[in-house]
Amino acid sequence: MQLKELLKYRDVVIQCHDNPDADALASGLAIYRFMEANGNTPEFIYRGPNEISKSNLIIMLKELEIPITYAPDYDRVPQLLVTVDCQYGQRNVTTTEAKHVAVIDHHQVTEKLPQIAEVRCTVGSCATVVWDMLRVEGFDPNEDKKLATALYYGLYTDTNKFSELSHPLDRDMIDSLVSVNKSLITQMSNSNITLEELELTGRAILDYTYLEDIRCLEIKTEPCDPNILGVISDFAMETAEVDVCIAYYISPDEIKFSVRSCVKEVHANELAEFITYGIGGGGGHLLKAGGTIRPEKIPEGVEDIIYNRVREYYSMFEVLYAKDTLLDTSKMKMYTKKEQKLGAVKLSDVFEIGSPVEIRTLEGDIHITIDDETYLMIGIEGEVYPISAEKLDSSYDLTGFDFKKSFEYEPSIRNLATDELKEVLPYAKTVISPPGVARIYAFPLDHWVKLFTTWDEEKYYSGVPGDYIAVREDDPHDIYIISGKLFDQLYKPASSGISPFLT
């Protein structure tokens, strides 16, 4: 879907979900301003039993001049209804009759979508979705400081002050919004908790569940502003006996939770994704994350879903440290790489040696300092990873030809010293992995593994059943995980073998 598709309708109503939050208000405002700039002035409404009363949202409405109307008894039938930050027919949005419906959202799909729809459940906010749609149309929010501030605040609040970002596009939006009123963001952030919510926080913390064997604290609270969950879990993480904390509430419309971790063996974002798999959506950072579960996806056992999934998560993984692990290669199959055309970027061609850089990818951000010996490999699905010049030369043939390919999200590099951003692909050259080179031993996993590699002892790589664990023939501690869906595209058997096991 493109925003310009909405312009053919002259009678348009934009509707937030009931009890709108900052993300819904920002998203609706952005669509309103886009249509207004193109000669169409829509109505912007919200419905439901409650009028906006939170202090931060009242400030937001006033200072950013958001032209929204509370219309609980709205009965007009517009030509087009655009629902933002929700899906038409969901329980959290009062149904408004319309001749045509469009949906723009970032939550997991729970209703049949209309023909005009843009739903991206991997990003952190609906504001991110709308910002990217505006970018496609050549509409720059920075030309309207109030709109830029609204979009920034929408993502800020929906990701618990950016601690639960779930997609590089979220970070791209943060970087691009340069005309934000930061003092207003601070003012709204400091008006986020009422005295009643402060009391709610105290009651929740006193009524915790402690899972001693895994050093995990679970705190259930009453339905509240999702940011309160972050406040609760951040405070609880100060406790000496707690490695992981999950604060959550259950409401008729959603189960919202916040995750915190202070140990490298548990990535908060991975735990959030595991808890919500198939029933919602979650993501964030290694130490801070969060998510939402849709109650209609779990008609039974809503009260126990988080406890059960946390227990399942801990019981499923085996943790391996490559520097201390040897695989029994005598019982593993040997493979060699198939001939593949991949991309390689010499990082010193992008920025000067010594530059601290951030490499943004779909898998997350990588922070390194550029030297003359480090390259960036670009895989067949756009995945990137650093590689030394020595290993590149021993495993690939450099062709000198440009590497031209498109991906879902193309990696970029930001110079942290100058804030200059450059795309990676224009610097990429094609490299070929000749057959018979870079021999490995590998076998398919039949259980979940967290692997700490020798080149990164602080961040593990997850392997699930069907993925492969592999080790280079010439380095017994160079152990890594290969995606099961990519393995047959990358490798072929070099010799026969039997089922392996770990030692």
- Domains in the chain and their CATH numbers? 3-189 (3.90.1640.10), 195-316 (3.10.310.40), 325-335+437-495 (no CATH), 341-426 (no CATH)
Looking up tokens 């920002």 gives 26
Q: Give pLDDT, residue 107.
A: 80
User: Amino acid letter at 216?
Assistant: C
Q: Give pLDDT, residue 16.
A: 95
Q: Give pLDDT, residue 436.
A: 64
Q: Give pLDDT, residue 467.
A: 93
Query: d(Cα 427, Cα 15) in Å, to the nearest integer?
Result: 44
DSSP reduced 3-state for 465: strand
Q: Give pLDDT, residue 501.
A: 41
Are 276 and 282 in contact by the 8 Å Cβ rule? The answer is: yes
Q: Give pLDDT, residue 449.
A: 92
Query: d(Cα 259, Cα 271) in Å, to the nearest integer?
Result: 8
Mode of pairing for the β-strands spanning 244-250 and 255-261:
antiparallel
* Residue 485: HSE in the Cβ half-sphere, 13 Å Cα cutoff: 3
The stretches in the chain having pLDDT less than 70 are 110, 166, 284-285, 299-301, 363-364, 435-438, 495-503
- Of 277, 234, 228, the closest CA to residue 256 belongs to 228
- Return the DSSP state at 327: B
Query: d(Cα 126, Cα 82) in Å, to the nearest integer?
Result: 13
CA 26 to chain centre: 19
